[in-house]
Structure formats: C-alpha cells, structure tokens
Structure 1
Amino acid sequence: MEAVLIGVVLVILFLTLVGALSIRLVQQYQRGIVFRFGRVLEPVRQPGLRLIVPVADRMVRVSMQTTVIGVPPQGAITRDNVTLTVDAVVYYRVVDPVKALVNVRDYPSAVLQVAQTALRSVIGKADLDTLLGDRERINAELKAVIDAPTEKPWGLLIERVEVKDVALPEGMKRSMSRQAEAERERRARVIAADGEYQASRRLADASRAMAGTPGAYQLRLLQTVVDVAAEKNSTLVMPFPVELLRFFDKFTRDTEPTAAERPPTGQPEPAAPAAGDGHRGPLT
C-alpha cells in the first residue's frame, strides 16, 4: 500500500509538472508565437489558455498594444542653414508578430534608430518657416520615412509621429522677435490708415448731406458747444456763425453799384466842390 501511495503521488507530481510546462496563458493584448525546435509553428496563438509540447516547444508572447517612444533631441541644419535642435515622439504597434520576432532583433531600439535618422533627414530638407508653421506636413513626412523600412520587413505600423519641440538659437529668437514686432507695427499702421480713409469718406458724405440743409451746420455747432461745455473747461471759444457771414456777403453784393450807375470808362469823375466855397455873382 505504501508503494502504491508513493506511485500515485509521483504520478500526480509528474502530471502537475507536465501541465505547468504545457499550459501557457496569452493575454487579450498579446499574441503567442510557438517555436518548435527553433522553427515557427503556425498558427499564431490567440488570447486564452494554450497548450504546448514541453521541452520541444517554446512560446514567446508579443504585445500588440501601441507603444510610444520618445526621440531624443537631435541637432540638425535646415535647408536655409539654420542650426536647431528638434525632438519628437513616435507611436507604433506590431501588426505581424512573426516578422517582429524573426526579421529584426530588439525592434523598439530599431524603431528608435530609424526615427532619429529620419528626423535629421526631414529637417534638413525643410526650411525654418515650414518647420515652424506647417507641422502637419513635417509630421506626415516623418511618418512616411519611418514607416517605409519598418512595416513590410519588420511587421510594424507607424501610427503617428509628432515633432514635440524646436529649440532655436538665441540670436535667431531675437531676430524673429524683431521681425514679428515690425510686422505687427506694419499691420497697425495699415489698419490706422484704413480707418482714417474710411472716416474721411464718411465725413465727406456727411458734409454733402449737410450742404443741402443750411440749418444743419448750426445744429452741429450747438451740439459741439454742448459737448465742449460738458468737459467743464474754463474757456469756451465760439466760432463765428456761418449764416451771419452769408448775410454780410449778400448785403455787400446788394450795395455794390450796378454797371449803369458807374461812370464811362476813360472819363474823369466830376470833382467835388471845395469846402467853404459859395456861389459868387459876376463882378461889376
């Protein structure tokens, strides 16, 4: 009985050991690749409990999640000969786990090296204005350059590439600041000139509208007087009324002699008698 009991215990331990060596758990975000004596055994194991042959098989789990790696700052020279430092971030994931394990060793490090090289290459082909103002174009070019050598041979998909920061030299920063200040000043002057032009046109329209109504000038004068008096000034200057000037102008025209009353041209005007002279009769 003791021998039988020992045998049963040994069998149970053996089965437990075989089960521990045969059962593998694959998570939902993983895929299992089984190597039997060094060769890939199809198909790719899906999530769940999977059985392998102990000793003969070896399973490697590959994560299918999106991985984010940061590209360290890279010094580069743009097409317009500006030296700067650029860093980026790369989002990628595995689409073919077999290629990711077989065709490349340590694919995260390989993606990082390709991203650094592509970053220098793309920055060297772009100018500074494009790099600062058109980030989407730079990101698209980086994605295309990194995705080309990694998707088909390595089984990786580059989902997104973003340029994080562009560090400019201090001299370039000061130059760009002066340029931006000059541009803002130019816009301010243009806006002010356009406002003056529109105001002058409105004033001209108002002047033409008020010309048909003489009393409008006087009403505008009274309104101006009210506005000036509201400021509590000690001195108030009253302009001369326009209607009074017109009255004097009309009165002057009415009192001027007509052409019939003027003496003929070339004849002297009769001399006025001297003061104190009277009428004297003939001498006898």
Structure 2
Amino acid sequence: MAWNTPGSENGDREPRPRGRGRGFAPNDLLDRLKDMSDGNGPWRWLALVLGLWLVWSTFELVSEQQRGVVLRFGQFARIMAPGPHLKAPWPIERVIKVNATEIKTYTQTVPVLTSDENIVNVDLNVQYRVADPQLYLFGTRDADEVLKEASLSTVREMVGRSNLDTVLGSRNALAVAARTRLEKSLQAYRTGLTVTELNLPNARPPEEVKPAFDDVNSAQQDKDRVISEARAYAAKVIPEARGEAARVRAIAEGEKESAIARATGDAQRFSLLVEQYKAAPEVTRKRLWLETVQQVLSENRTIVGGDSRQLIYVPMNDATTATQPVTPPLLAAPQNAPAIVPDVLAPVTATGDSGGRGPRAPRAPRSAGDER
C-alpha cells in the first residue's frame, strides 16, 4: 500500500521509515510529554502522585525520643539523630525508628533455691532502655526476650550463692551485684540494652512453709532486739564500771599511803618508846598501861572499881546528872562510854541508884613513878 494514497491511516504525515523496526525519535517523546501535561488524561495524575511520593520518601523526621536506623538495600548505613533528614527514596533506603529514651519495665516472681537449701520466691523488677539502636535491631534476634531470660538467670545465680539470711536481710547489696552481672551478660549477648534499675523488693517463702518461715523471722527479730539491748546496756554499764574501778583504785591508793604513813609513825614511836623503856622501864610500862586503859574505857560500858573487882552498872541517864568523878586528864572518856577504872584512878562518886554508898577514900599511889 502506498504511504500517501487516499484512505491511508497516515494521512499527511511523513512516511514511516523502513527497516527492522521503529527508531527512537526525541521529538516523539517531547510531544507525548506535552500531550500529558496539556491534556486531562491519567498520566498527569500519575506524574503528580509520583512526584509527591518521591518528596515524601526522601524526607524523614525523627522525634526527640527516637533514633533513626537507616538501611540501604537492607544493610545498616547510619544512625539519624532527632530532627529532619533527607535520604534516598524507597527501596534504596529505609528508616527504622527506635525509641531510645523510653524506660521499659520487666517484673517477675522467681522461685529460687538458696545455698542453704531453702526455697524462696524473689520478686524481680528490672527497668531498662535502648542504648545502641543498631545492636538492638541487629545484634540479636529478640533483645527484649534475651533481657528477660538473662535477668532470671542472673537472679537465680546470685540468690543461689547466698544463704537465706542474706536474701532476707541484704537484698539491696544482692540487687547491686545482680545488676552488675546482668549488664555484663547484656553486653556479651549484644542486645544494645542498658539496665537503669534492678530491684528485689520482696523475698518470701512458698505458702506451704510460710508459718514456719514467719516463726524464723520472728526469732531473728527477737535476736536482733536482744543484741541491741545488750549493746545499749554494755555501753551504759561499762563506763560506770570503769569510773567505779577508778574510784576504788584511788581509795585503795589513799589507804595504802595512809597505812604506810601510819606504820612508819608507829615504827618511829616504838623506836622512841624503846629508848624511853631502856631509860625508865617502870615509868614507861605504867604509861603504856594507862594509855591502853584509856583506849579501852572509851569503848566499854562496865566500870570496875576497887580491889574487889566488883562490877558496877551505872545508868547513863542518871550518871549525866550525878556528880562527876574527878578523873585524871589522861583517862578522860566520852560522856556515854563507861570505863574500867584501875586502882590508881580517883574514887567513883555515885548518887541516886548507886545503892547509897558513900565516897570511897582514894588509895595512895604505890610509887612516885605512878604519877604522871
């Protein structure tokens, strides 16, 4: 068929070139784009949607609490900080947002066997957050599940090494050690998580043995109370005992010095008496006898008078109103203390209930040495 024959579909257009196929003509592409932009066909809307999609897929906004993990063709590329960012459109680059500031909590009650073979239920409370978004997503299969299993394993290990008293009374120190151990485990497992808090708020026995457990706790509390009271009593009594001991030592030292001084004086006095006795034996003997009698009379209520050695009981109340006997100054005694009067003493004058006996004549001294 001729190219320009009447009824031909080509009309007035140039004849198509012959050859293997239709060649590429830039003018044809421009004409088609012009037709799409000028017309109202679906191509115009498709181009608009494509443009909006390109803008949307290249712009990424990361919030303050998040971190963006950029994957380029499925492989880790970089970390996006909070703020607006540009990236290659999908499927070239893709962003996974991870909340890096959210504090997650894991709680569980763990039955544990202690080192002294006691079963105790320990309440576990772990608070954690994402520290490394890359490791959190790609370091392990499920970081949250790994943390839960590692927490249970750590608590069983730490409590299993401790006895029941430590678990009940030193849970804070046990929790600190468990947190350190858990941090090392999470780093070894490449979870990208960090523990912000680990607590063991309560430890209690199973319900089957709770009554016996309560008895043990009560006894432990009584023991602690008695120990505290004993320490308080010791803190009070020991200083008092030390003060009393110091006082007794001071008194003993004083008595010691007094006894030494008294013994020294007695020794010196005895030495002087020996010299006097050598010079005048009778006079010295009589003087010593009189001094001894004076000392004895001051402590005795019985009066012995005359050669008959008759005992005379003197009522002290009446004796105070009776005429006082003339007594040598050497033998003066207290008012209420009767004395033993030797033959050399002055006669006893009695009135009232003394029996009506008159005064007794004094006896002459035996020798001139008897008079002092």
Q: Normalising by structure 1, what TM-score?
A: 0.64
Who is 2:47 aligned against? 11
State whether residues 61 and 83 of structure 2, in contact with CA within 8 Å, keep that contact through their aligned partners in structure 1: yes
Structure 2 residue 167 is matched with structure 1 residue 131: yes
What is the alpha-carbon distance in structure 2 between the residues aligned to residue 194 and residue 67 of structure 1? Answer: 49
Answering whether residue 191 of structure 2 is matched by residue 159 of structure 1, we say no
Distance 1:65 1:48 in 2: 15
Say yes or no: does 1:48 pair with 2:83.
Answer: yes
Q: Give the match for residue 144 of structure 2.
A: 108
Superposition pairs of residues 189-228 of structure 1, within 5 angstroms: 191=232, 198=240
Q: Which of 132, 135, 156 is the matching residue for 1:120?
A: 156
CA distance 1:174–1:101, shift in 2 (3 Å): same
The one-character-per-residue Cα deviations of 1:44-94 (angstroms, maximum 9, x if unpaired) are 112122333222322111121152322310001111222110022222222
Q: 2:340 aligns with which of 243, 248, 257?
A: 257
Q: Distance in 1 between matches of 2:37 and 2:88?
A: 32
User: Percent identity over the alignment?
Assistant: 20
| Equivalent-residue separation in structure 2 for 1:259 and 1:123 (angstroms) | 97
Check the 8 A contact 2:66/2:100 in 1, yes or no: yes
Does the Cα contact within 8 Å between 1:24 and 1:52 map onto a contact in 2?
no
What amino acid sits opposite 2:138 in the alignment? V
Per-residue Cα deviation, 1:155-189 (whole angstroms, up to 9, x for no partner): 22223311121113331221220232244246446
The residue type paired with residue 172 of structure 1 is F
**Secondary structure of the structure 1 residue equivalent to 2:186:** coil
Work out the CA distance in 2 between the residues paired with 1:90 and 1:183: 31
Q: Which has the larger radius of gyration?
A: 2
In structure 1, give the amino acid aligned to 2:84: L
Q: Which runs of 5+ in 2 are unaligned?
A: 1-34, 248-315, 317-333, 346-372
Q: Are residue 62 (structure 1) and residue 145 (structure 2) matched?
A: no
Root-mean-square deviation over aligned CA pairs: 3.5
- The reply on whether 1:172 has 2:213 as its aligned counterpart is yes
**Aligned residue type for 1:150:** L
1:30 and 2:113 equivalent? no
Shift of 1:123: 0.4
Q: Tell me which residue corresponds to 1:181.
A: 222
Residues 194/35 of structure 1: CA separation in 2 closer, same or farther (3 Å cut): closer
Q: Secondary structure at the match of 2:123?
A: strand
Unaligned runs of 5+ residues in structure 1 are 206-247, 263-284
Query: Structure 1's 167 and 52: CA in aligned 2 closer, same or farther, altered over 3 A?
Result: farther
Higher strand fraction (1 or 2)? 1
The higher-RCO structure (CA 8 Å, 6+ apart) is: 1
- Report deviation, 1:119: 0.7
What is the CA–CA distance in structure 2 between the aligned matches of 1:84 and 1:75, rounded to whole Å? 6
- Distance in 2 (alpha carbons) for counterparts of 1:46 and 1:196: 69
CA contact (8 A) 1:31 1:63 kept: yes
Go from structure 1 to structure 2 and tell me whether the alpha carbon gap of 1:258 and 1:186 turns closer, same or farther (over 3 Å shift).
farther
Query: SS where residue 257 of structure 1 aligns?
Result: coil
Contact in 1 for aligned 2:71/2:94 (Cα 8 Å): yes
CA distance in 2, matches of 1:194, 1:260: 67
Q: Which amino acid aligns with 1:4?
A: D
1:72-131 superposed Cα distances (whole Å, 9 cap, x missing partner): 100011112221100222222222211111121221121111101111111001122222
Q: What CA distance in whole angstroms lies between the structure 1 residues aligned with 2:114 and 2:55?
A: 61
User: Partner of 2:276 in structure 1?
Assistant: none
Question: Structure 1 residues 32 and 130, CA, compared in 2 at 3 Å: closer, same or farther?
Answer: same
* Cα deviation digits, residues 174-231 of structure 1 (max 9, x gap): 12202322442464467568768849x89xx8xxxxxxxxxxxxxxxxxxxxxxxxxx
Q: Partners in 1 of 2:133 and 2:122 — Cα distance?
A: 31
Q: Distance in 2 between matches of 1:258 and 1:15?
A: 148
Alignment partner, residue 218 of structure 1: none
Q: Give the distance between the partners of 2:142 and 2:109, measured in 1 at CA.
A: 22
- Number of residue-to-residue matches in the alignment: 219
